[in-house]
A and B are shown apart, each in its own frame.
Chain A
Amino acid sequence: MDAITGAWDWLGSAANWAGENGVWHRLGQHVQLSVVCLIISCLLALPVALYLGHIGKGGALAVNLANVGRAVPTFAVLVLLTLSPLGRAGDWPTIVALVLFAVPPLLTNAYVGMREADRDVVEAARGMGMSGPQLLLRVELPLAYPLIMTGLRSASVQVVATVTLAALAGGGGLGRIITAGFGNYDTPQVVAGAVLVAGLALLVEAVLVAVERLCDPMRGKRPARTVRRGIRAARKDAAAV
């Protein structure tokens, strides 16, 4: 209980929000790094995934990439990059690590989404004389949209978590509040930092869910999505592994 009231007090003190080590500065760093890396990752992963999904090749690559991404510890990659020559280049170790870990979920989900697009519909569209690009943009992409967005959401959650970890390797972001708290045995600060990080991650997730609903190219025309979505995802896991 002490920790909760302590954390509350910590968050309530204006001094903790201002300055170089303050919450606002750290939050700014966190969001900026996350957004930049997400954009880079999307630019790298989505065109490749959409193209591979469209021509129906490279399935093994897409699935294995996700499995490898899971097995490699983020912390290890961050530290390895920090100790490499890249480590002297400011934020670059963090950016590279972030992109490395954001690409697999984006690529795999977009690829699977493209491949899972109802074959009958795709064949029908081809029969109607649609060209390759038309097929990709007007049939496969709208059908793959939910999974592409799932990939974007898991990539974002991954990125927010990885930026937090970057603090362990000397990077900026909200994780610094937690690591500084651990360094000073300041439990209230540790908890306050953790609350901020968790809040940011949940907020990002919620915003992306809302964006997904609002931007759906087939809004209202898709069969009802309920809890079953999670189950479908699990089934996909089972099929993918």
Chain B
Amino acid sequence: MSTPMSTVASMYVSAAPSPRNCLQANDWICGEYVRSRGQELVDATVQHVWITVLSVAIGLLVAFPLALLARQRRGAAGPVLGLTTILYTVPSLAMFALLTPVFGVSAAVVVTGLVLYSLTILVRNILAGLQAVPTEVREAARGMGYGPLRLLFQVELPLALPALMAGLRIATVSTVAMTTIGAVVGFGGLGNLIDSGMQGFFKAEVLTASVLCVLLALIADLLLVGLQRALTPWTRADRTRRARDGAGGIRRTGRERKAVA
């Protein structure tokens, strides 16, 4: 296929006005890169988002019963917390490498690894939230005829929400960052671009993908803060009332403070 001379000429002409092309100069910041590879960036971001969301969602679904188990049986708490801590200690590259023979080179490797990492933080925080529910509240609900399931979902879970959401925020932010390492099996979202940028010594690609990754973590965190505020309106009312009454006017008792934390 031959390129018409006029096209080549016009390319030259259009390139000529800008004294130096940032792509050729391999600058760190390059608008031309974002313009010409926009679709690539969008695709990588979309992959990054779905891997993160799927991992955290599965992590939450697994962590909740584990936390319940750890709370119900005194003997289970140690092993559950110990096992999740051990999983957390395994470096991410080793984790993905160990999962590769199980799932082959696929997105399942990355998602499974990220789920296992998120468990540590999620189980701990859910457990802490549930254990911080004041006994009086539990007794009162039981006295009002709440069964165990209703007690859990209508009384204990809402009270445990602040701790749960704090854990969810930490887990989500770390998962966004750790997804990049999925690039070793080709499913790293923006990490794929960082990887290919490294191979090709393409500075703009690496910096743009890295910045997007941090932005993604920030946005996810802000969204979760918004969700938490929407889900726990009572904590806000409490705070404004306290502010009105004069901060520190009433010293909280130890148990109250624990419940709030």
**Which residue among A75, A190, A193 has the maximum number of chain B CB atoms within 10 Å of its CB?**
A75
Segment at the B interface, from A55-63, A107-115, A226-234: A226-234
Give the distance to chain B from A161, nearest Cβ to Cβ, in Å.
3
Binary per-residue interface labels of chain A (178-202) against chain B in the complex, 1 for a CB within 8 Å, 0 otherwise: 1101100001001101110110011
A175 interface hit (Cβ, 8 Å): yes
Contact A161 B124, beta carbon cutoff 8 Å? no
Contact A165 B92, beta carbon cutoff 8 Å? yes
Contact B86 A202, beta carbon cutoff 8 Å? yes
Give Cα distance in the complex from A241 to B209, angstroms.
26
Give the residues from 176 to 221 in chain B that come closer than 8 angstroms, CB to CB, to chain A: 176-178, 180-181, 183-185, 191, 194-195, 197-198, 201, 203, 206-207, 209-210, 213-214, 217-218, 221
Give the distance to chain A from B222, nearest Cβ to Cβ, in Å.
12
Binary per-residue interface labels of chain B (78-100) against chain A in the complex, 1 for a CB within 8 Å, 0 otherwise: 10010001101111111101101
A79 interface hit (Cβ, 8 Å): yes
List the B residue with the shortest CB-CB distance to A226: B78
Segment at the A interface, from B2-10, B15-23, B126-134, B244-252: B126-134
Give Cα distance in the complex from A213 to B184, angstroms.
38
Give the residues from 221 to 241 in chain A that come closer than 8 angstroms, CB to CB, to chain B: 227, 230-231, 233-235, 237-239, 241
Give Cα distance in the complex from A227 to B195, angstroms.
40
Contact A70 B93, beta carbon cutoff 8 Å? no
Q: When the two chains form the complex, which single residue of A79, A164, A233 contacts B94, counting CB atoms closer than 8 Å?
A: A164
Interface size grouping (class) on chain B: 35 or more
Contact A237 B101, beta carbon cutoff 8 Å? no
What residues on B are CB-neighbors of A74 within 8 Å? 177, 181
Give Cα distance in the complex from A83 to B94, angstroms.
24
Binary per-residue interface labels of chain A (142-158) against chain B in the complex, 1 for a CB within 8 Å, 0 otherwise: 00000000000000010
| 26 pairs of residues in contact across A and B, judged by CB atoms under 8 Å | A4-B101, A73-B178, A73-B180, A73-B191, A73-B194, A73-B213, A75-B191, A76-B213, A157-B88, A157-B89, A164-B92, A168-B181, A178-B93, A178-B94, A182-B184, A194-B93, A198-B91, A198-B98, A201-B91, A230-B124, A231-B127, A234-B128, A235-B132, A241-B166, A241-B169, A241-B170
Known: A72-B177, A238-B166. A165 touches B93 (CB 8 A): yes
Give the residues from 197 to 223 in chain A that come closer than 8 angstroms, CB to CB, to chain B: 197-198, 201-202, 205
**Which residue among B94, B127, B173, B181 has the maximum number of chain A CB atoms within 10 Å of its CB?**
B94
